Amino acid sequence: MHLRPATPNPRPSRGPLFLLTMTETNDQALAQEAVETNATAEQEPTTTQEEAPPGEIEAIEAEAAPANEASDEPAPEEEQAVEEPPMAASALPFAAALEAKNPVEGKVIGWNKGGFHIASDGVTAFCPRSLMELGNRPKPPSHYVNNTYAFHVLEIKEAGRRIVLTRRPAIRSERRQALDGIRAKQESREPVTGKVTSVTEFGAFVDLGGGLGGLVHRTQISRTRNGEPADLVKVGQQVEALVTKVETKNGKRSARISLSMKALEADPWKETAKGFSAGDQFKGKVVRHCEFGFFVELAPGLDGLVHTSQLPIGKSMSHPAFAAGEEIEGWIVKVAPKRRRIALSLREVPASDPWKDLGKQYVEGAEVEGKVEQVSRFGIFVELEPGLTGLLPMSAVKLPEGGLARRTYPPGREIKVVIESIDRKRRRLGLAPPGSQLVGTKTDYRKYRQRQKESSGLNVMAAAFAKLQQPK
């Protein structure tokens, strides 16, 4: 570009006239010509701006304008603004939901390795697989496809062209509401309904809805039916139960719920148990064994316990007659309705308490016959009659050389013993081998004290009578 100086004017010069201000962005050629122009202007007289031909000024401005527009470098200290693209109109409802933390409804229309494609309000969004459930354990993709769920907007990217959703907040909210409903029913003892999802050896798991599940322990399935849980309930079966407990953890509510189906059945202890009394005979079926005995079903939902100490003498729990399912007969020892317990015995139970009339038949020093009940490390228990058992200390037992007490005195063997002591308060009988000479027994001591009292009483009375006979 070439710049020409203004036409000489005979009038006095007012100094050089610069018609164009150059910027630092012009190229070197343009700057050089500007310097030459200034130098010429100092030597030749110049005209003023007012007298310059208008057409020439316009030509210079028009010629300089493209040089300014062609500059591709920003001016110093001039910031270059970066404008974000406007958000797509279809994403605006999701942006509002994100800001307000409101849920949006979406239908699962497909899936890939990373997650699920969600159709919501005419827009296709994405939900990672790990955000479809709590605990990072999503179900198989087929479980979700074509189903509609509540989602929350996690983030919006690329001006609304990519929307990421999550189900976790909605699931938590749904579970909180469902758990509040479960707790309300627990307090009001209102039954809940659900579907059995699985059955194990210790009970049945029930889906209560809202992402909550409960366990019906095997002991809480039925009062009237006995057996394995798999024989009592089936997967897919609709059941009704009462909520017995909602466990808590670290002060927070948890979804671990205990249920009872048998709580909705009639309680046999209120009516049926009234037909059983201590001393009555019973007939029932062995239903299950435990460490300290076995249970016998007396009536539907009513079981009694035969303790190991109440087995027939000489028999153990492993005897075939006591296997589960076998019918047995025995006697009722005690009925405790408040504790919901019935004690049973396979040994004859006395019609009355033998300790009440003990002194008439059994006295210290008397020799009696009994039956070996069991042998322990500290002695031999001998049954004198039903309900009356004494202990023969091992220190008093005479055994043959090399003999063992268990072999010498097997359960059921009849032997003779001597009653050494009677403790009515503690209900204990001390026994001794036959032929033992008891010296200074409690009975002898009581007789001696009684004689002393009688003798002392007579002496006092005689002295008083003699004193009255003395003259005053």
What average pLDDT score do residues 419-426 get? 87
Q: pTM of this prediction?
A: 0.47
pLDDT of residue 53: 47
pLDDT bucket at 236, cuts 50 / 70 / 90: very high
What average pLDDT score do residues 50-78 get? 45
Q: Taking 50 as the threshold, does the pLDDT of residue 63 lie above it?
A: no
**Other beta carbons less than 10 A from residue 2's beta carbon:** 9
**Which position has the higher pLDDT, 319 or 81?**
319
CATH class, range 268-345 = mainly beta
CA pair distance 239, 215, nearest whole angstrom: 12
How far apart, in Å, are the Cα atoms of 293 and each of 189, 273, 331, 386? 35, 21, 15, 20
What CATH superfamily classification does 172-264 receive? Nucleic acid-binding proteins (2.40.50.140)
Q: Taking 80 as the threshold, does the pLDDT of residue 58 lie above it?
A: no
Phi, psi (deg, nearest 5) at residue 60: -65, -45
Amino acid at 312: P
Ranking 48-52, 327-331, 404-408, 455-459 by mean pLDDT, the lowest is 48-52
**Which position has the higher pLDDT, 446 or 130?**
130
Phi, psi (deg, nearest 5) at residue 212: -105, 145
3-state SS, one letter per residue, for 391-460: EEEHHHCCCCCCCCHHHHCCCCCEEEEEEEEEECCCCEEEEECCCCCCCCCHHHHHHHHHHHHHHHHHHH
Interior angle at CA 262, CA 261 and CA 268, nearest 5: 165
pLDDT bucket at 451, cuts 50 / 70 / 90: low
What CATH superfamily classification does 91-166 receive? Nucleic acid-binding proteins (2.40.50.140)
Residue 126 in contact with residue 199, Cβ under 8 Å?
no
What average pLDDT score do residues 229-252 get? 85
The CATH 2.40.50.140 domain(s) of the chain lie at 91-166, 172-264, 268-345, 358-443
Q: Taking 50 as the threshold, does the pLDDT of residue 443 lie above it?
A: yes
Considering the chain, what is the average pLDDT of its residues?
78
Largest separation between any pair of C-alpha atoms in the chain: 191
**Residue 154 is encoded by which pair of tokens?**
């996690």
**Residue 45 is encoded by which pair of tokens?**
């007289």
- CA-based nearest residue to 364, from 426, 431, 413, 311: 431
Ranking 368-382, 407-421, 436-450 by mean pLDDT, the lowest is 436-450
**Residue 85 is encoded by which pair of tokens?**
């693209």
Ranking 5-14, 125-134, 312-321, 437-446 by mean pLDDT, the lowest is 5-14
pLDDT bucket at 427, cuts 50 / 70 / 90: confident
CA pair distance 409, 416, nearest whole angstrom: 12
pLDDT of residue 190: 93
Residue 168: left (phi > 0), alpha (psi -120 to 50), or beta?
Answer: alpha
Tens of pLDDT, residues 358-397: 777 788 888 899 988 888 888 999 988 888 889 999 888 8
CA pair distance 134, 175, nearest whole angstrom: 11
CA pair distance 67, 33, nearest whole angstrom: 14
Residue 220 in contact with residue 233, Cβ under 8 Å?
no
- CA-based nearest residue to 104, from 163, 159, 16, 191: 163
β-strand 252-260 against 212-217: which pairing, if any? parallel
Query: What is the dotted CATH code of the domain comprising 358-443?
Result: 2.40.50.140
pLDDT bucket at 154, cuts 50 / 70 / 90: very high
Tens of pLDDT, residues 311-325: 888 788 889 999 988
